[in-house]
Amino acid sequence: MMNSGFHYSLLPIARRVALFPAFLFVISAAQFAPPVFAAEPAERPSPEHAQPADPGSQHVSVVRTGVLGTRDGLTLRLTMDLGSVNIVQLDAGAAPAVRYTVRIETDARGPAAQQLLDSYSLKAKPTYSGVEIIGTLPPQAVRSGNAQFWVQFEVAVPRGYSVDVNTEAGDITTADIGGTASLHTQGGNIKTGRIGTSGMRDASWGHAAARLETEGGHIQVKDVTGDLTAITGGGHISVGNIAGEATLRTGGGHIRAEQIGGRAELDTVGGNITVAHAGSFVSVRTGGGQIDFGEVRGSVRAQTGGGGIRMMYVSGPIELESSSGSICLTRVAGALQAATSGGTITAWINPDAPSGGGNVHLGGPSQLASGNGDIIVFLPRNLAATIDAIVASGDEHHIEADPALHMTMQASGNGSGPLHAMATLNGGGAPLKLKTTGGKIRLQFLDSEVALRDSLIREQIERISQRIPEFKPDYMDNRGNENTVFRNDDAKMDWLESWLNSLEISFRGGITENADDFQKRLVNSPRPSYPALAQRAGLQGFVKLQVRVKKDGSVEVQKLLEGEPALADAAIAAVKTWRAKPAWMSGKPVEVISTVTFNFQLH
């Protein structure tokens, strides 16, 4: 929770840092801030008479206010050796001005209290670049003891203003900031609205819109139009949509980012890192926390000292390292380098299909290695690659592969040495090396565990949504070499469509889908062979079948709608080997009913 006031003990200046933990946050800005009116001519700040802070309180306080005329698009520079700050925007249409209210409070008694309050130095002046405000503790603070001091700034600025705030102790909070923001506090929290909302809508990467630093507090930012640097000595960092590049570092807290458009560097000594969306290269490192990604339209380098790594989709090259955690990747489109000393590696490797169709290829040489954990890899049937799998200590049962992969096994004579297996898929291609010291290696095709993968994706969506409620996946899936979109179907339905689908499911046991959309749902769909008997008999023509996708992804034929029986038998035999993605409604799989048509033609 943000603290709204800050106090300072009147002790020698050399003892300030040691006293910071003893400061009390007791004053709310809303209790004393006057309303913001339209701009007025510049005024000199004038102290009011000392008065009790609250009825029955032993504190006395003074409030100083001022208004300085300015032009929009300039900068507020606010510097104080003590105090919390709240910056808001002027109302729309108000004349450009900087309006400030400063409340100074002390628990000193008698005449000394009035003298201390009156001697607080507050300087405010217009400058060529905007407005400058400086607040300084009274000289008596260096020589006096026993009393405490509280200072709170409330400043209203034009909507296109930039802000530059420095406080040695206190929280900094802001509403939306139209320009850039540079905020620094030695011990408080920083919380901002949107930054760069005015005059920066076309900002490109390389534009530093915000730099936020605190030596121990939390940092929370909404959206930033441009680049963001956020650094804290130990607190959490939470950011919204960053249009440009992002550098986020904390001495031990968690890092959460909704979306980063440019390159990103995220570093925490021991906390977790969660990124919902990223559009470029992302480098993350944690001393021991968990790393979770949603969708990355770029490349990733991730390292954790002990936690696991989970990623939904990465389009570019991936380099992952975990000291002991597991690694789970539900869609890898580029080259992959992954290593863990003791965890399991599970990866669905599925490069993007070429525009002209045909085989798919790895983005480059790939390698997965685990010390004692298992390695489980799912591959597309049309992948052109060379597989090299090694279990350093194990027998032939330590490598399991789909028979269609035609793996060649080489085991040691005594059954306890290294086990080596190789395969050349679809003519060969970039190497895919798999190595584990004491675990097992399992190789399967993508269509063998459709339900498992979809379940893991839903779990990851739920996990990220709990940390980042704004997360809305737009998952590009390419399991069947067709570019289709994986989304929760409910997100695309209005209430009437949802009701009609529910009614159809109750009567037919599934939803009806047109033939073109049904083709996009297919994961594996070998074509039927032309029956030799039908060829000799000169039979040709169309065969149309009504089919149903079951919840487990299998496809069954419900009836023959059109076609010669001799041709239909071949079509039905082929369809029974197909695999497809079931639909999803309300978080549950739903069967799909459609039609498929084959055209048998003699040449």
Average pLDDT over residues 559-587: 84
Residue 523: band (very low, low, confident or very high) from pLDDT cuts 50, 70, 90: confident
Between CA 270 and CA 290 the distance in angstroms is 9
Determine how β-strand 327-332 pairs with β-strand 309-314. parallel
Looking at residue 164, what is its pLDDT? Answer: 97
For residue range 367-380, list pLDDT tens digits in order.
999 998 999 999 99
Residue 205: band (very low, low, confident or very high) from pLDDT cuts 50, 70, 90: very low
Between CA 302 and CA 355 the distance in angstroms is 31
Between CA 191 and CA 236 the distance in angstroms is 11
Please state, for a pLDDT cut of 90, what percent of the chain lies above it. Answer: 48
Looking at residue 198, what is its pLDDT? Answer: 57
CA distances from 536 to 416, 530, 601 (A): 56, 11, 13
Residue 246: count of CB within 10 angstroms of its CB: 29
| pTM (whole model) above 0.85 | no
Average pLDDT over residues 319-343: 93
Looking at residue 42, what is its pLDDT? Answer: 43
Would you kindly state where each structural domain of the chain is located, as residue ranges?
Answer: 1-175, 488-600
Average pLDDT over residues 288-308: 93
Q: How many residues does the chain have?
A: 603
Please state, for a pLDDT cut of 70, what percent of the chain lies above it. Answer: 80
Instruction: State yes or no: pLDDT of 157 exceeds 60.
Output: yes
The answer to whether 597 touches 528, Cβ cutoff 8 Å, is no
Determine how β-strand 555-562 pairs with β-strand 360-361. unpaired
Which of the pair, 426 or 503, is modelled with greater confidence? 426
Residue 61: band (very low, low, confident or very high) from pLDDT cuts 50, 70, 90: confident
Q: Please provide the DSSP assignment of 37-105 as one string.
A: -S--S-----PPPPEESSTT-S-EEEEEEEEEE--TT-EEEEEESS-EEEEEEPPTTPPSEEEEEEEEE
Residue 43: band (very low, low, confident or very high) from pLDDT cuts 50, 70, 90: very low
Instruction: State yes or no: pLDDT of 495 exceeds 60.
Output: no
Looking at residue 301, what is its pLDDT? Answer: 96
CA distances from 260 to 190, 223, 257, 293 (A): 20, 10, 7, 12
Q: Which of 40-54, 214-228, 511-525, 573-587 has the highest mean pLDDT?
A: 214-228
For residue range 252-293, list pLDDT tens digits in order.
899 999 999 999 999 999 899 999 999 999 999 999 899 999
CATH number for 488-600 (one of 3.40.640.10, 3.30.2420.10, 3.40.50.300, 1.10.540.10): it is 3.30.2420.10
